[in-house]
Chain A
Amino acid sequence: MDIITRDQLAALLDNLASSRTLIAPCEAEDVLLYRRVPSSAEVAWDFDLPVLSAKGALFPPTERLMTVEKGGDAGEENAVQLNILETIFEDEQVIFGVRPCDARGFKALDALLLETDPMDTYYARRREKTTLIGLACGQMGPSCFCTSLGGAPDDWRDVDLMLTEIEDGYAVKVVTEKGRALLGDLSLRELPGEPTAPVLNDPLPVPGDEAWTSQFKDGFWDNLAERCLSCRICAYVCPVCRCFDVRDELVPATTFCYDQYERIRCWDSCTGVNYRKIAGGHNPRSEKGQRLRNRFNCKFYYYPQQYGVIACTGCGRCIDACPVNIDITEVMEHLVITQEGVSK
């Protein structure tokens, strides 16, 4: 295996930070987040799983799609010239310390945003400009279940460059040309052997399509949802939840004028009350149970049906962030057990 030392890696990241945006796990007042860092000095080297996934680097919580502003004189009387300026993401960015579950999350997003017509050009642009440096997990956390969904704590398939921490630094695996380009002419030391394999949790059973369709009207959903707060934590910490809302808003100005508007899109979540509200005020998903049912069906049934991949990577963030202990693995287990009972 090829080895990069911690010092070499820090120098590499500093070098990258000088020419492009470097995003890395860092502590923001006791909260571990992927954030833009000016240098490797800010990087939290020993980290488990940041509270939010790395999703925001490619799908920001708020993204301005374009601005519309009044331009100069259009020449004719009463005519107004409008200038429309589309936002085009230009920066090259590198995300360091991407966990395999988050990298898999980008793959799942690609299925909808890149590979399904029409392509989401905003996401596509960012995706193209982004290089992922993965970091393998030494062991699975108590809430992790990536191996149940085809991932692994050392899965290198979805990143450009994979690092695995070892005693003397990191084992490096070049996965793509993009990854190779990051290393440049850096000379890596060669060591015999391979990094130690990570410690795994026992895989959980995953409900099949039949379980989701046959239990659609089960009272389970209402019972589960009773304690649900209808907040959006689960969707916002998730590496694959990608719902958004688009709105045209006035750009705040220091002077009171109505000259510039922006079209923004922001994260949204199907667990929120208003999400499914339609014109006229009707809400076909007005009950909490209906909303949670949608959330889980989307992940394991609707999204795979439409885009071919499960919209969950088993990162376990929603389990650990939910204030009322709504647990995706408990849902999976319930569906599997009930389905087995039905099949017998």
Chain B
Amino acid sequence: MSKTIDIQAKTRQLLNSGQVSCVIGYEIGPRGRTRPAFIYQPDDAERMVWNRSCTHNLVPYVSDKLQSIEKNTSTGETETTQQQVAVVVKPCDSRAINVLTAEKQFSRDQVYVIGVACEGIVDGAGFGREDNGNLQARCQRCSEREPVVYDILIGEPQEVEAVDDYSDLDRLTDLTPDARVEFWLSQFDRCIRCYACRQVCPMCNCPTCLYERDDSLWVGMGIRLNEKRTFHLGRAYHLAGRCVGCNECERVCPMKIPISLLNRMLEREVEAAFGHRAGAAAAPSPLVTILDSEDGISWTS
């Protein structure tokens, strides 16, 4: 059976049994573009698809959905017996679930995880620009074929030989510090502060982003180089040890800012210094300090 049929069948079953109230997956829009889909009725399960354009990391929608279910339940607008949401994930996406449960954004039992044995996603996915059929750069170096966390696995993971030697970072590390600054400033110069990178990111879940405060406390509102640099560098630091490399930030950037270079530079550092790989297990980043209510500080490392 195809993965699409398996996902549809599972969706139908989960909704019919009432185990979950919503299944978050993928559908194809009228222009032929693959996009996120939210399925509530068993009859709508047939909209679900799996293909090599399923690029979106759907995990950021999980917290939103859980919150809105909670809100509706408490106001009595809907009757839900279970508060579970199901979500379709690729291996990279699945690591985001681990990070977010470790950071207590939701608990593992609130989410039914439909893991898909991934064969890589093509370039231009989501925008209807899949013409050349090449795998995305991040998929070419990825050897993860099985999600690290799931309740059901769709498809058979195939062995692949791919080595991530961080050679994409050579273009940066070969530069002198001055030239590197120049490189980044010319990239950030294009930024329009649309915040798509932040909005699409499973780890960017602060209720108030410190770069978008109404009082300009830490960074001003200007869509200018100074503010843009602060935003991008600050965001990268906040993702250290947390970024799972789904690379949605770079994909959605209308200005093609190579954000992955920043994230991967820090990923490599954290891996080298702490042996930590984001989301490989449900453990927080060693660079994150968790404050336990009034009991003082617990250092996670």
Are these two chains actual partners, yes or no?
Answer: yes
Closest A residue to B40 by beta carbon equals A223
Interface residues on A, range: 35 or more
Q: How far is the CA of A52 from the CA of B190 in the complex (A)?
A: 11
Is A323 located at the chain interface by the 8 A CB criterion? yes
For chain B residues 202-258, which have a beta carbon within 8 Å of chain A? 212, 214, 216, 220-224, 226, 248, 251-252, 254-256
Is B35 located at the chain interface by the 8 A CB criterion? yes
Task: Give the residue of B29, B222, B224 whose beta carbon is less than 8 angstroms from that of A325.
Answer: B29
For the complex formed, measure the closest distance between the CB of B62 and the CB atoms of chain A, giving whole angstroms: 12
Task: Give the residue of A31, A223, A229, A267 whose beta carbon is less than 8 angstroms from that of B255.
Answer: A31
Interface string of A219-252 (1 = CB under 8 A from B): 0000100110111110011000000010101001
Task: Give the residue of B35, B36, B192, B256 whose beta carbon is less than 8 angstroms from that of A30.
Answer: B256
For chain B residues 156-210, which have a beta carbon within 8 Å of chain A? 186-187, 189-190, 192-196, 198-200
A320 / chain B contacts, CB cutoff of 8 Å: 127
A264 / chain B contacts, CB cutoff of 8 Å: 220-222
Is A29 located at the chain interface by the 8 A CB criterion? yes
Is A191 located at the chain interface by the 8 A CB criterion? no
For chain A residues 28-46, which have a beta carbon within 8 Å of chain B? 28-31, 33
Contact between chains at B194 and A231 (CB < 8 Å): yes
Of B127, B190, B196, B224, which is in contact with the most chain A CB atoms at under 10 Å from its CB? B196
Closest B residue to A268 by beta carbon equals B221
Contact between chains at A330 and B127 (CB < 8 Å): no
For the complex formed, measure the closest distance between the CB of A193 and the CB atoms of chain B, giving whole angstroms: 36
Is B104 located at the chain interface by the 8 A CB criterion? no
Instruction: Known A231-B199, A247-B221, A330-B29; judge A324-B190 contact (CB<8 A).
Output: no
For chain A residues 60-116, which have a beta carbon within 8 Å of chain B? 61-62
Is B33 located at the chain interface by the 8 A CB criterion? yes
Is B56 located at the chain interface by the 8 A CB criterion? yes
Instruction: Known A229-B196, A274-B214; judge A62-B222 contact (CB<8 A).
Output: yes
B216 / chain A contacts, CB cutoff of 8 Å: 247, 249
Of A231, A247, A269, A330, which is in contact with the most chain B CB atoms at under 10 Å from its CB? A231
For chain B residues 23-37, which have a beta carbon within 8 Å of chain A? 29-31, 33-37
Contact between chains at B196 and A249 (CB < 8 Å): no
For the complex formed, measure the closest distance between the CB of A176 and the CB atoms of chain B, giving whole angstroms: 31
Is A200 located at the chain interface by the 8 A CB criterion? no
Q: How far is the CA of A277 from the CA of B222 in the complex (A)?
A: 19
Is B38 located at the chain interface by the 8 A CB criterion? yes
For chain A residues 246-265, which have a beta carbon within 8 Å of chain B? 247, 249, 252, 264
Instruction: Known A330-B29, A330-B30; judge A229-B200 contact (CB<8 A).
Output: yes
For the complex formed, measure the closest distance between the CB of A281 and the CB atoms of chain B, giving whole angstroms: 10
Contact between chains at A323 and B196 (CB < 8 Å): yes
Interface string of A5-41 (1 = CB under 8 A from B): 0000000000000000000000011110100000000
Is B91 located at the chain interface by the 8 A CB criterion? no
Q: How far is the CA of A33 from the CA of B190 in the complex (A)?
A: 9
Interface string of A124-152 (1 = CB under 8 A from B): 00000000000000000011000000000
Contact between chains at A236 and B33 (CB < 8 Å): no
Is B126 located at the chain interface by the 8 A CB criterion? yes
B35 / chain A contacts, CB cutoff of 8 Å: 227, 324-325
For the complex formed, measure the closest distance between the CB of A278 and the CB atoms of chain B, giving whole angstroms: 11
A237 / chain B contacts, CB cutoff of 8 Å: 254
Q: How far is the CA of A149 from the CA of B126 in the complex (A)?
A: 27
B31 / chain A contacts, CB cutoff of 8 Å: 142-143, 319, 325, 327
Is A58 located at the chain interface by the 8 A CB criterion? no
Is A272 located at the chain interface by the 8 A CB criterion? yes
Instruction: Known A264-B221, A266-B223, A327-B29; judge A229-B199 contact (CB<8 A).
Output: yes
Closest A residue to B60 by beta carbon equals A229
Instruction: Known A249-B220, A266-B223; judge A226-B38 contact (CB<8 A).
Output: yes
Q: How far is the CA of A266 from the CA of B195 in the complex (A)?
A: 14
Instruction: Known A31-B190, A266-B221, A324-B36; judge A231-B126 contact (CB<8 A).
Output: no
A143 / chain B contacts, CB cutoff of 8 Å: 31
B226 / chain A contacts, CB cutoff of 8 Å: 252
Is A57 located at the chain interface by the 8 A CB criterion? no
For the complex formed, measure the closest distance between the CB of B202 and the CB atoms of chain A, giving whole angstroms: 12
For the complex formed, measure the closest distance between the CB of B56 and the CB atoms of chain A, giving whole angstroms: 7
Of B61, B226, B252, B254, which is in contact with the most chain A CB atoms at under 10 Å from its CB? B254
Is A321 located at the chain interface by the 8 A CB criterion? yes
Closest B residue to A56 by beta carbon equals B192
For the complex formed, measure the closest distance between the CB of B172 and the CB atoms of chain A, giving whole angstroms: 14
Task: Give the residue of B36, B212, B222, B255 whose beta carbon is less than 8 angstroms from that of A227.
Answer: B36
20 contacts between A and B (CB under 8 A): A28-B190, A61-B193, A223-B38, A227-B36, A227-B37, A229-B200, A231-B194, A232-B193, A247-B221, A249-B221, A249-B222, A252-B226, A267-B223, A269-B194, A272-B195, A320-B127, A323-B252, A324-B36, A325-B34, A325-B35
Add 7 more A-B contacts to A325-B33, A325-B35 (CB < 8 A): A29-B187, A232-B196, A233-B254, A236-B194, A249-B222, A323-B248, A327-B29
Residues of B within 8 A of A (CB): 29-31, 33-38, 56, 61, 126-127, 186-187, 189-190, 192-196, 198-200, 212, 214, 216, 220-224, 226, 248, 251-252, 254-256
Nearest 5 pairs between A and B by C-beta? A323-B252, A231-B196, A61-B223, A325-B35, A229-B199
